[in-house]
């Protein structure tokens, strides 16, 4: 089927804009931006970093190979991205849409497969004409199908802060509501590769500005609070320090770094077995004080320590990215008010599962650092 360009792209050609500010690791980031206007200049600097709105990729251009998908499937992903950009939706929406199409059709424009796909489920998103998505011809048009998906997504209150699988399910009403989550990492990679890093902010000043604005990155992650990084991960001075300390004044709100399920809320015991978290701690006391652990998509666990009072969440509670879970304190093994923040892979609560939160959050487009 011939691709019909969105309205704004009809009269323009891709403009290559070289931005010296986006130089990362010696490699100059180049943005291909469709539809340059004077009103767009203020958002170009962060368009490719997942914290703004930017141009997308031309589906008719030479596209990269992204396994396990073929050329036609990657072109469909490019169309989904381009439609989202034309509708002025942020890159997080593109990731949700691409991941949904990966689950529903493997990015293939499905025809009628009979009983194998609910008889009339068609196109990239298995939209059903019988339930009002459009005519069979319409829902098999990738531009139309993508537009309808985004239109429905926009009606979901708070979709920007939802876990990907929740947002996709709210649109699709699938019989397998948890199936979308497994596609999020590759969908993010696809958006990055096709739209010049749109889903992944890097650790430069622009990324810090995005985080300082309190925005949710396209990856679905955000900073737990605005604060400089004090003591680092496994530093020479503290080789067993399994997280980073974000130094900030007492009572500052702490946010969930991504959507997930609270797996642990407790007053951590000190070295003498005491649970004394409602008083200030001190170096050598031991324990995390008031603490929370959250399990996120991909079996990633985040840990938040030294809160000033009992956390605001409970175990098994679902939380969204940016939701306030507690306040900064200095309970437990602490020399002053700060948030001790850890990231663990594979839900491994031990030191073996811990990774550097600075590097991990940078990769998610929510760079930790001196943001205020």
Q: What are the structural domain ranges in the chain?
A: 7-194, 221-363
The pLDDT value given to residue 119: 62
Does the pLDDT at position 57 exceed 80?
A: no
Helix axes 71-86, 91-105, angle to 10 degrees: 140
CB atoms within 10 A of CB 343: 24
Segment 41-45 shows an average pLDDT of 29
Q: Cβ(49)–Cβ(61) under 8 Å?
A: no
The pLDDT value given to residue 115: 55
Q: Cβ(332)–Cβ(270) under 8 Å?
A: yes
Name the percent of the chain lying above pLDDT 70.
76
Mean pLDDT score of the chain:
78
Please tell me the CATH code under which domain 221-363 is placed.
2.70.70.10
Q: What band does 304 get if pLDDT is binned at 50, 70 and 90?
A: very high
Name the percent of the chain lying above pLDDT 90.
45
Does the pLDDT at position 11 exceed 50?
A: no
**Residue 96, SS3 per DSSP:** helix
Q: Which of 198-202, 257-261, 312-316 has the lowest mean pLDDT?
A: 198-202
pLDDT top residue among 218 and 76? 76
pLDDT top residue among 49 and 85? 85
Q: How far is CA 188 from CA 69, 77, 85, 268, in A?
A: 14, 11, 15, 36
pLDDT top residue among 117 and 331? 331
Q: What band does 85 get if pLDDT is binned at 50, 70 and 90?
A: confident
**pTM for the whole thing?**
0.56
pLDDT top residue among 185 and 84? 84
The pLDDT value given to residue 198: 58
Q: Which of 25-29, 231-235, 275-279, 303-307 has the lowest mean pLDDT?
A: 25-29
Which range scores top for mean pLDDT: 4-8, 136-140, 144-148?
144-148
Segment 168-191 shows an average pLDDT of 84
pLDDT top residue among 11 and 349? 349
The pLDDT value given to residue 63: 87
Radius of gyration of the chain (CA): 22
The pLDDT value given to residue 183: 87
Q: Cβ(271)–Cβ(285) under 8 Å?
A: yes
Residues in the chain, total: 372
Q: How far apart are CA 164 and CA 171, in angstroms?
A: 11
Measured between alpha carbons, how far apart are the two ends of the chain, in Å? Answer: 50
User: How many Cα atoms within 13 Å fall on the side-chain side of residue 77?
Assistant: 31
Which tokens in the block code for residue 47? 């368009």
The pLDDT value given to residue 273: 94
């Amino acid at each position: 089927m011939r691709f019909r360009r969105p309205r704004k792209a009809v009269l323009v050609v891709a403009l290559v804009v070289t931005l010296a500010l986006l130089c990362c690791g010696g490699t100059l980031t180049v943005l291909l931006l469709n539809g340059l206007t004077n009103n767009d200049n203020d958002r170009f600097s962060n368009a490719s970093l997942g914290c703004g709105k930017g141009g997308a990729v031309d589906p008719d251009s030479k596209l990269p190979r992204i396994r396990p998908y073929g050329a036609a499937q990657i072109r469909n992903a490019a169309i989904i991205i381009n439609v989202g950009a034309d509708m002025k939706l942020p890159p997080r929406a593109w990731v949700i849409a691409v991941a949904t199409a990966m689950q529903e059709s493997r990015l293939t424009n499905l025809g009628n497969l009979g009983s194998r796909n609910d008889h009339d489920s068609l196109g990239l998103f298995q939209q059903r004409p019988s339930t009002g998505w459009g005519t069979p011809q319409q829902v098999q048009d990738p531009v139309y199908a993508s537009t309808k998906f985004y239109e429905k997504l926009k009606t979901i209150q708070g979709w920007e802060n939802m876990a990907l699988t929740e947002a996709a399910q709210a649109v699709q009403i699938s019989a397998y509501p948890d199936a979308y989550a497994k596609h999020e990492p590759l969908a993010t990679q696809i958006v990055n590769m096709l739209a010049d890093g749109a889903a992944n902010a890097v650790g430069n000043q622009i990324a810090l500005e995005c985080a300082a604005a309190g925005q949710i990155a396209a990856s679905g992650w955000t900073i737990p609070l605005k604060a400089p990084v004090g003591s680092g991960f496994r530093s020479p001075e503290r080789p067993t320090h399994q997280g980073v300390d974000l130094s900030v004044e007492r009572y500052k709100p702490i946010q969930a770094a991504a959507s997930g399920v609270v797996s642990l809320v407790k007053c951590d015991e000190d070295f003498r077995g005491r649970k004394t978290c409602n008083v200030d701690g001190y170096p050598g006391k031991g324990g995390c004080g008031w603490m929370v652990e959250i399990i996120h998509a991909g079996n990633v666990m985040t840990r938040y320590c030294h809160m000033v009072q009992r956390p605001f969440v409970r175990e098994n509670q679902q939380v969204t990215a940016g939701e306030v879970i507690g306040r900064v304190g200095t309970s437990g093994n602490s020399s002053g008010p700060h948030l001790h923040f850890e990231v663990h892979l594979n839900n491994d609560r031990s030191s073996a599962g811990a990774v550097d939160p600075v590097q991990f959050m940078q990769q998610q487009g929510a760079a930790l650092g001196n943001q205020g």
